[in-house]
Amino acid sequence: MSTAVARRTLAARPRVELVDLVIWVILAALVVANLQLNPSFLELDNIYFTFGSALALVLAAMAAGLVMLIAEIDLAIGAVMTLANVCIAAWAPESLPLALLLGSAVGVACGLVAGGLVSFLRLPSIIVTLALATVWGGVALYVMEKPGGAAPTELVDMILGPVPLIACVAVGIAWSWFSRTKTGRRIYGLGSDELAAYLSGIPLHTTKLIVFGVAGLLLGWAGIALTAVTGGGDPLVGNPYTLQAITAAVLGGISFQGGRGTLWGAIAGALVLVLITSVVQLSGVSAFYQGVVNGGLLVASVALSRLTTGRWLPLPRIAIASRKGSEDGD
Amino acid sequence: MATERALGGGLARSGFPRPRLTPVATAYLVVAGLAIVGQIQSSSFLSFNHVAVLLGLTAVLGIASAGQTVVILSAGIDLSVGALISAADVLAVQWMHGDDAQLWVVLPILAIGAAIGLLNGLGIALLRISPLIMTLGMASIVGGFVLVVTSGESGAQPAPALEDAMTGKFLGLPGTLWAWIATAVVTVLLLRLTRFGRELLALGSNARAARLAGVSPTWTTLGIYAFSGLMAALAGIVLAGFTGTGAFGIGEDYTLLSVAAVVIGGASILGGRGGYVGTIAGAVILACLTDILTVADVEAAGRQIVQGVAILIILVIYGRERRLRTVS
């Protein structure tokens, strides 16, 4: 009984462990590797360019990580980004403010739908987001049947300048503040143990809704960044981002079981993925290996974190989206 | 908690009337409803020929869902199904090269499918990687390796014998349907009559109790995912024979569809509840929906939306989790 009580203590503060710092070491190593292959890698223009091409994934990884913090999962990441992308390209090809507004609105709307279904109707997020991915994909096809449209020129110019770098740092700092607010603490509490969070009076529905809403906003922004990079709309453009964003979040030390990790880790994870891609390209390895590298990294990073934390023993704990309460005393 | 699971959802939600219809019965009612809608829409919907063709078209999904059913019953999920179907499809076409003498490559392809499933199982059982992450990563790895092995060329044609078998008819039924029937019989017997079937259900409803009762979580998990990989590979081969081409990404949609078929068929995503008989209804519902919408001239985008919404509606009907208020 006493252990059960101890287990129910909320981890309200984001815990940073040594393992979480590994990702930054890997990031540094990749910067060195890139510098070896491309001496101008650390020139200002190139740094801007790197962040410009990474921004969409950074934001998507933050969204994936945020949802994972409350032990849910979002498999509609790519679809939401696609929807934001085609909406901008179809309806706001001229005006920058309209494009920003439209992207954010689409993202938040999609996020709230998913959040509502998961929190109020208590549906498992994995199937909800899989099904919503189909729905958003279909809506995107209605908006734009085949690649076309355009992005506002100011938006395209922006992605080449210092804006993406500033944006990455700004969202990171915003997260540092947000995670220390009451809502931020509640997110960690909810993620570590939903039942305990419920028993201590955390408003579960509202918190989940906020998480999905904010994640949706981030995905809308990711869609805007993606539009700036591609310069047009494409009803299939976001697809690869679902896997990559989750990989980045997992690489960055955010636990799939919820309640562990910070979104700075997700940012680092996303940058690591982008830099690995550029190393693979610069060193002339076939692009076919990209999928192998991405998938392998995802699995390897989880396996590694299991090994380093000593939790690798074959115990029968194979529940997905586990209600932690149902694992009592395990 | 454990007793609550064992007693079933009806008792857990005390205060609510016990639902009269099981999810499986509801799923078959939906099938009947869709059949009536289809019949009203076009008078030949329920003719023997149309039903046979429709079921033949559903076979690939049905076979892939057999593996997914077994995985979901054990409280896991397999998101590598689509990638494996694509892989088996492309490899079958590449290696057969339109030559009947090369028909034997079916065996190594099935073995590859089972082996990849086994790898999933190893990661999940031994490294305790969550099934979602493990199979998602594996999907990407398999997709990459297929590109590498085939150098990005999908070309050629399957063995004519395979193509004839899958597109032809025997005793009035399409070849793909026979493949599905065989799979269905094996899967239902596996779940109902074998020790493995009982063990994976036990594992799915309460992993801890199952272990205490002598179920080996490691071996059972390995078997579960190997079976799913095997079924996905089989679905890919059937697809290759049926379409007569190999195409990268041809199987992608089947990941969502197979999960959807299982869930619509009344299985709980949390494991332990459901069965393949329900999944068959789930697959047929998805096929009927597509068929009816296609006849009604709804374009692909619209069909996609309706499919997603239908999955959500069915989830709302019987896929909801318990209120925390009723826990412990």
Report pLDDT for B324. Answer: 67
- In a structure prediction context, what are the per-residue pLDDT tens digits for chain A, which is 330 residues long? 444 444 444 444 555 566 677 788 889 999 999 898 888 888 888 889 889 999 999 999 999 999 999 989 999 999 999 999 999 999 988 888 999 999 999 999 999 999 999 999 988 898 899 899 999 999 999 998 888 888 888 888 888 889 999 999 999 999 999 999 999 999 999 988 888 888 888 899 999 999 999 999 999 999 999 999 998 889 888 888 998 899 899 888 888 788 888 899 999 999 998 998 888 888 877 777 878 888 888 888 777 766 655 444 433 344 433 444 443 333
User: Bridge-partner residues for B251, per DSSP?
Assistant: none
Is residue B10 over pLDDT 50? no
User: Rounded to a whole number, what is the distance in Å from the CA of A101 to chain B's nearest CA?
Assistant: 25
Beta strands B173-174 and B169-170, pairing class: antiparallel
Check CB contact under 8 Å for A317 and B207: yes
pTM: 0.84
* Calpha distance B46→B169 (Å, rounded): 19
Nearest CA in chain B to A319: B75
What is the Cα–Cα distance from B122 to B58, expressed in whole angstroms? 31
**Taking 90 as the threshold, does the pLDDT of residue B225 lie above it?**
yes
| Contact (Cβ atoms closer than 8 angstroms) between residue A226 and residue A103 | no
Q: What is the CA radius of gyration of chain B?
A: 20
Which residues of chain B does A294 touch, with a Cβ-Cβ cutoff of 8 Å? 137, 140, 144
Scanning every residue of chain A, which has its alpha carbon at the shortest distance from the alpha carbon of B142? A292
Q: How many CB pairs under 8 A join A and B?
A: 214
CA–CA min distance A43, chain B (Å): 33
- Interface probe for B, chosen from A5, A254, A299, A312 (most Cβ of B below 10 Å), is A299
User: Backbone phi, then psi, for B170, in 5-degree steps?
Assistant: -125, 130
Mutation target to probe the B interface, by most B beta carbons within 10 A, among A318, A323, A324, A328 is: A318
> Is a pLDDT exceeding 70 seen at residue B21?
yes
| Nearest residue in A to B148, CA atom | A288
- Beta pairing partners, B170: B173
CB contact under 8 A, A320 and B132: yes
The answer to whether A312 and A70 have CB atoms below 8 angstroms apart is no
Q: What residue ranges do the domains of chain A occupy?
A: 51-242
Distance from the Cα of A162 to chain B's closest Cα (Å) equals 33
Answer yes or no: is pLDDT of B326 > 80: no
How far, in Å, CA of B230 to CA of B227, rounded?
5
Residues of A in contact with B324 (CB under 8 A): 194-195, 198, 204, 325
The answer to whether the beta carbons of residues A93 and B291 sit under 8 Å apart is no
Contact B128 A250 (CB under 8 A): no
DSSP codes, A75-101: S-HHHHHHHHHHHHHHH-SS-HHHHHH
Tokens of B202: 């036990």
Are the beta carbons of A299 and B129 separated by less than 8 Å?
yes
Taking the CA of residue A321 and the nearest CA in chain B, the distance in Å comes to 8
Reported as a pLDDT band with limits 50, 70 and 90, residue B64 is very high
Of the candidates B127, B307, B327, the beta carbon closest to that of A312 is on: B127
Type of residue found at B237: I
Q: A16: exposed, middle or buried (C-beta count within 10 Å: 0-12, 13-18, 19+)?
A: middle
> With contacts defined as CB-CB under 8 Å, which chain B residues touch A70?
none
- Contact between chains at A318 and B131 (C-beta distance less than 8 A): yes
Of A117, A140, A198, the CB nearest to B312: A117
* pLDDT per position as a tens digit, B230-285: 999 999 999 998 888 888 888 888 988 899 899 888 888 888 888 899 999 999 99
Rounded Cα–Cα distance for residues B43 and B30 (Å): 19
Say if the Cβ atoms of A246 and B133 lie within 8 Å: yes
Cβ separation B144–A311 shorter than 8 A: no
B300 vs A141, A303, A330: nearest CB? A141
Q: Chain B residues with CB inside 8 Å of A310's CB?
A: none
> What SS3 string covers B237-291?
HHHHHHHCCCCCCCCCHHHHHHHHHHHHCCCCCCCCCCCHHHHHHHHHHHHHHHH
